């Protein structure tokens, strides 16, 4: 993975939304009914943990920040959250299987974790990305101190709750997410408009008291801290040596 990381770094890419740490192992292509399949390293928590951590370390060694996903694990989920609402395996099962690779990755020092948009039976009925309980599990129980990213707020699982990306962003930040992610939903101008709408929604939420200023400030500080750790040169800069 260091070679892949170096290739990314040479063209100015310093963040990779990978690796997938979901425990799946089905040898089919991802689809509306299975978000992972061949994107997963396998069906064994131990194997996924070993290979996923190696992948992340390879990226890091090349100066690319890895974002492990999709906490607390989409292996066995009912559906691809890009297409609509989905539920994971029950929390009691996830805690013994799907969470294991994330525990290993956090122990290894991964800088960022993406939270899924699936709900977790026995834990939260909300999309995990909007759940303070899920974020709290990641922060307190697993001891993660790095950057928390939501899965795309343009996903079908979010839209099915009649939430725009701007409205969902307030809920995600209130839950403890640091960095808001949404999909490219049209031309650059349309995408920029969505980004501005999200920013304006967060400003209004702080002004109205729906979102604590301190929470937004802490999230911004976490983003800036992660950004300052990026060792990949900017676009047009000299490539890293191998």
Asked if the structure places residue 239 within a domain, the reply is: no
Please report whether residue 89 resides in a domain: yes
User: What value does the mean pLDDT take over residues 179-208?
Assistant: 91
Residues in the chain: 242
Give the containing element (helix H, strand E) for 68. strand 65-71
- Cα separation, 21 vs 85, whole angstroms: 20
Specify the residue for token string 């890009």: 82
Average pLDDT over residues 221-226: 93
- In this predicted model, what pLDDT tens digit does every residue of 22-75 receive, in sequence order? 999 887 888 888 888 888 999 999 999 999 999 999 998 888 999 999 999 999
Supply the range of the domain harboring residue 10. 2-229
pLDDT grade for 184, boundaries at 50, 70 and 90 = confident
Q: How many domains does the chain have?
A: 1
233 pLDDT more than 60: no
Query: Residue 190 burial by CB count (10 A; 0-12/13-18/19+): exposed, middle or buried?
Result: exposed
Q: What is the pLDDT of residues 134-176, one digit of tens each?
A: 999 999 999 999 999 999 999 999 999 999 999 999 999 999 9
Whether residue 72 lies inside any domain: the answer is yes
The distance of Cα 237 from the centroid of its chain, to the nearest Å, equals 28
SS3 115: strand
Q: What is the mean pLDDT of the chain?
A: 89
Looking at the domain assignment, is residue 240 inside a domain?
Answer: no
* pLDDT score at 6: 64
pLDDT tier for residue 203 given thresholds of 50, 70 and 90: very high
Q: Is 237 among the domain residues?
A: no
Q: For 91-137, how does the pLDDT look when each residue is reduced to its tens digit (9 = 90+)?
A: 999 999 999 999 999 999 999 999 999 999 999 999 999 999 999 99
In a domain, 156, yes or no: yes
How sure is the predictor about 234, in pLDDT bands with cuts at 50, 70 and 90?
A: very low
Q: Looking at the predicted structure, is the pLDDT value of residue 241 above 80?
A: no
Grade residue 8 by pLDDT with cuts at 50, 70 and 90: low
Q: How much is the average pLDDT of 194-220?
A: 95
Percentage of the chain with pLDDT > 70?
90
Q: What is the CATH number of the domain that holds 177?
A: 3.20.20.300
Question: Which pLDDT score, from 0 to 100, does residue 29 have?
Answer: 83
Residue 98: inside a domain: yes
List Cα–Cα distances, 68 to 16, 52, 63, 100, 122, in angstroms: 9, 8, 16, 13, 23
Within-domain flag for 77: yes
The pLDDT value given to residue 187? 85
């Amino acid at each position: 993975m260091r070679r892949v990381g170096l290739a990314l770094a040479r063209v100015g890419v310093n963040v990779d939304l990978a690796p997938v740490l979901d425990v799946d192992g089905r040898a089919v292509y991802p689809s509306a009914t299975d978000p992972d399949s061949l994107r997963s390293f396998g069906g064994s928590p131990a194997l996924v943990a070993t290979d996923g951590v190696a992948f992340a370390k390879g990226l890091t060694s090349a100066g690319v920040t890895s974002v492990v996903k999709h906490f607390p694990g989409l292996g066995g989920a009912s559906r691809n959250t890009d297409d609509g609402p989905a539920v994971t395996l029950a929390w009691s099962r996830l805690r013994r299987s799907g969470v294991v690779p994330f525990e290993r990755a956090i122990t290894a020092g991964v800088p960022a974790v993406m939270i899924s948009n699936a709900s977790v039976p026995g834990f939260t009925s909300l999309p995990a990305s909007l759940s303070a309980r899920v974020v709290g599990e990641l922060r307190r129980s697993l001891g993660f101190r790095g950057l928390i990213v939501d899965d795309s707020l343009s996903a079908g699982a979010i839209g099915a709750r009649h939430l725009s990306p701007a409205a969902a962003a307030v809920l995600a930040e209130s839950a403890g997410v640091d960095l808001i992610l949404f999909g490219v939903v049209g031309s650059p101008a349309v995408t920029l408009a969505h980004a501005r709408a999200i920013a304006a929604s967060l400003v209004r939420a702080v002004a109205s008291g729906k979102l604590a200023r301190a929470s937004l400030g802490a999230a911004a500080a976490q983003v800036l801290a992660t950004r300052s750790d990026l060792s990949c040169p900017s676009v047009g800069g000299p490539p890293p040596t191998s």
